[in-house]
């Protein structure tokens, strides 16, 4: 009889180890599934000097090819353009524009994180 109990105790220990291993696998999988894509920290605003629209960088940077911007005359409409230069302080020029109201947006392309959207720039 004691031999039977020993097998039962050993079996329960094995089940507990399997359960513990399964919980570890589930925890690791949940971590990778729930973590969002990472993006570089950046503090930036849109501004203009004369007819040139700029993104002023306070802190941080984004690698060349990893950021996109949109300059639109219609609020909520985006035409994302890629840049092949690093976005870093003090500013990046988005080009010169004729007098109008513009809505400027900036995002990190690999993660899709939007730093700001539809910041109004008025060129007179």
More confident residue, 15 or 3: 15
What's the confidence (pLDDT) of residue 11?
Answer: 80
pTM for the model stands at: 0.71
What's the confidence (pLDDT) of residue 78?
Answer: 97
What's the confidence (pLDDT) of residue 7?
Answer: 55
Question: Tokens 């002023």 correspond to what residue?
Answer: 56
Strand-pairing partners, residue 116, are 106
- Does residue 75 sit in helix, strand or coil? coil
Domain boundaries, the chain: 1-35, 42-123
Q: What angle do CA 120, 122, 124 make, to 5 degrees?
A: 175
Across the beta sheet with 42-49, the strand order is: 42-49, 52-60, 91-96
For residue 5, is pLDDT > 80?
A: no
- The third-level CATH classification (topology) of the domain covering 42-123 is Immunoglobulin-like (2.60.40)
Alpha carbons 122 and 23: distance in angstroms, whole number = 56
For 62-120, the pLDDT digits (tens) are 999 999 999 999 999 999 999 899 999 999 999 999 999 999 999 999 999 999 999 99
- Does residue 22 sit in helix, strand or coil? helix
Taking alpha carbons only, the member of 69, 47, 63 closest to residue 115 is 69
Q: What does the DSSP 8-state code read for residue 36?
A: P
For 16-66, the pLDDT digits (tens) are 888 888 888 888 877 777 766 689 999 999 999 999 999 999 999 999 999
């Amino acid at each position: 009889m004691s031999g039977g109990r020993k097998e039962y105790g050993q079996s329960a220990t094995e089940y507990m180890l399997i359960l513990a291993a399964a919980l570890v696998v589930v925890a690791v999988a949940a971590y990778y599934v729930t973590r969002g894509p990472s993006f570089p920290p950046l503090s930036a605003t849109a501004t203009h000097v004369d007819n040139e629209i700029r993104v002023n960088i306070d802190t941080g940077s984004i690698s060349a090819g990893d950021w996109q911007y949109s300059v639109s005359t219609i609020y909520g409409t985006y035409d994302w353009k890629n840049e092949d230069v690093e976005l870093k302080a003090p500013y990046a020029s988005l080009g010169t524009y004729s007098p109008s109201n513009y809505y400027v947006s900036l995002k990190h392309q690999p993660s899709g994180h939007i730093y700001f959207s539809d910041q109004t720039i008025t060129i007179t």
